[in-house]
Chains A and B, each alone.
Chain A
């Protein structure tokens, strides 16, 4: 096997992917599943994709679809992924490829051959030693353990087959500009800390990591109050009642680290086999706290970009904004690697109906809140998916495509990738505090993957604590203050803070615990002129729960979140009280203002400019432009968005 190379011709930048000739590619891709279509339809499908304004095609390359038993694979006919990608290149489309091993994609086996998931050596285990059943689209699988050497050997044999198909098609020789390293890996949608993974080899890795973290087995024993004689004696916690608490917190840290180890291994496996000239990325389901940690994943170097997925109707647009703020705050290229268009046709996640109107609000919310690369999933309809802008034969379905085409053209027309969103405040998730909450969970041996699998109230797994409510109320109050002041913000976790000099104000909720390196970064930022606000209390213990003196000189202690208002920067525009939220962009000598109404009622709003501005409508014709000098009244329709170009 050739050595790892670090030479890359495609690089992730804040504005897109830098190609070998220095051009920046804005990744606006549409998902197509080539194997689900007649190859005779491929040209028409790709033509339709290009006609809508997409710059790239995105496709899975599913292991189980190509697998023909150990060491053999079928890449012919409708499985001829290389031909499909060459056809894309012929049309000027770049390509993003996703070879798994986990896929999902409404496949009955989630893309992993059944002979692998049924092999007991490969299966992840619950805290009680039982395998974990995950409902797929129409079936169940026993989810694999990514620390099982048997599973990893199978994965590598798949990589041996698939990489030779894809590597010759890397940019600039072919259209491939990015490769996904596994799909939505985060414990297969299971956030419960004691559900997975207790596979013997996973536990061996945990024990080795734990000893390395604390320096020696003796140090672990001292911290935990144990007398373990050898590493194999180390017993992982299996419930929120297991003491001491620091043992559980370490387990949660391990679960976060295990994701990074896994993805680094998989990414190395792809690179070593020749997929080494394109950007690697991973995308996970939209969870902002443990065990997921996109910014830390990216900072670890396991992948070049840590992306996220969102599927939402208009009712979920507020959460889409939160996810967008998170990737905007923590990623070198804020990327939504799956952004829904249409919906799956299967009953266990039904009923759900996503219309083009839902798409308009969700897509614009994401793009106007800092997302700079996105993949529309599914751009082309296929088995088990409906409501896409392009039908299964490549016909543009105008009723569903018109809005998407306008959105893609708007991004291009406005030059959004070359501009910057005004987000001068960073709201930090105190990861240590979040872990303390999560570590109290119980019922890890029973908790199912999804509601509907059995009659079970998921709320029972989270053991309540008075601190939870206090922290929740403080965070909610901070968000209300930001909204009331029309101050847009980014989001990040304390485990991997971005460059804090980008912000004028940083806010981190604290009850009692803080991460020492994160605190040092906050303190440094404060010394460099950033306003750092914490509250409602000062931290007194570190991540090992040992008492620690945190130097908070110069930091603002918010006993009450309403005190935040006077520390916030003055925005260029403010909106009167109500559901309308503003986004402001500038750069390249231009300014944009957007207003988003995430409510089901039309909203009259007064927009006030800090200095006189002339607003020219760029999205809706029924929401007029005006001169804001100093303010003007307008109305944003229910679930509506308006974008104005700002003249001074």
Chain B
């Protein structure tokens, strides 16, 4: 999603900080994941993402997938992951074979996750998770050859802007309205000026989401943030462009 040589300059310290603070709320959400390390069914370690090392759930087993399903029911965890240490060398080799210098970083992370969940060394319940963030490249394609604009309002005040230039499906540049000479963040009543200013100085705005700060924060509290953001663009945005008709 992000070009390795992306240029990120002129972001608004307070505005970018607000966006970070919204995103940070997601980072603090920790699922209760039970991880079991075993040697072909002989358990060697059990840890919980919230509670640390557990003495429980150490009975040996024959079928890892069945054990994962059973543990999910008996432990009350959000997810159970079983790692078979005797087969992890193959997973390590697969991970090392993923080309890291010819692909954008996020794609490498996703390829890592795919290899992890597909590995015979890993058993999990429920089924491997769907990562909603994989929708982002599809959204970014809407901005191809131009700019994506995010602006957040706190009442009448424009509290943050973020401008992202997209080429060949990758974010090439990130900046903010404050970095544009002569442009200022307009009050809510003059919101149309936002897009006009960006287009006058930088180029076409292909997608835009201008919304209340609180609405974006609420979208980030959803499990599927990209879907929630599209819904926000459709239903509650102060201004949106190029997002409303996304499925």
Contact = CB atoms under 8 A, between A and B. Distances in A.
A460 B83 contact: yes
Interface residues of A, number: 51
B9 A392 contact: yes
Interface string B1-23: 01111111111111011101111
A128 interface: yes
B75 interface: no
Nearest to A454: B112
A572 to B, nearest CB: 39
Contacts of B20: 343, 350-353
Contact of A140 (B27, B85, B101): B101
Contacts of B27: 351
B44 interface: yes
Contact of B13 (A128, A342, A446): A342
Contacts of B18: 353
Nearest to B88: A446
B109 interface: yes
A455 to B, nearest CB: 5
B91 interface: yes
A539 interface: no
Given A128-B92, A343-B20, A140 B2 contact: no
A607 interface: no
Contacts of A348: 105
Contacts of B83: 460
A310 B20 CA distance: 20
Interface stretch (B45-53, B190-198, B199-207, B210-218): B45-53
Interface stretch (A47-55, A378-386, A500-508): A378-386
A76 interface: no
Contacts of B106: 347
A271 B96 CA distance: 37
B134 to A, nearest CB: 14
A133 B100 contact: yes
A562 interface: no
Interface in A141-185: 141-142
A128 B89 contact: yes
Nearest to A460: B37
Interface in A433-449: 442-443, 445-446, 448
Interface in A447-490: 448, 452-457, 459-460, 463-464
A348 B174 CA distance: 15
Contact of A460 (B23, B47, B93, B101): B47
A131 B49 CA distance: 28
B24 interface: yes
B23 A459 contact: no
Nearest to A458: B47
Given A347-B2, A452-B109, A130 B13 contact: no
B81 interface: yes
Nearest to B109: A453
A495 interface: no
A535 interface: no
A130 B92 contact: yes
A128 B87 CA distance: 13
Interface centre among B4, B8, B16, B37 (most CB of A within 10 A): B8
Given A130-B96, A135-B105, A351-B23, A387 B35 contact: no
B105 A131 contact: no
B35 A386 contact: no
A114 interface: yes
A460 B12 CA distance: 40
Pairs of residues from A and B, 3 with the lowest C-beta to C-beta distance, nearest first: A351-B23, A140-B100, A351-B24
Interface of B: 2-14, 16-18, 20-24, 26-27, 33, 35, 37, 44-45, 47, 49, 52-53, 81, 83, 85, 88-89, 91-93, 95-96, 100-101, 104-106, 108-109, 112-113, 115-117, 174
30 contacts: A128-B89, A130-B92, A133-B95, A133-B96, A133-B100, A135-B105, A135-B109, A138-B104, A139-B4, A139-B101, A141-B100, A142-B100, A342-B13, A346-B8, A350-B23, A351-B21, A351-B26, A353-B18, A355-B17, A383-B8, A386-B16, A443-B37, A443-B85, A443-B88, A446-B92, A452-B109, A454-B113, A455-B81, A456-B116, A464-B53
Given A140-B108, A463-B44, 4 more contacts: A138-B105, A140-B100, A457-B35, A463-B45
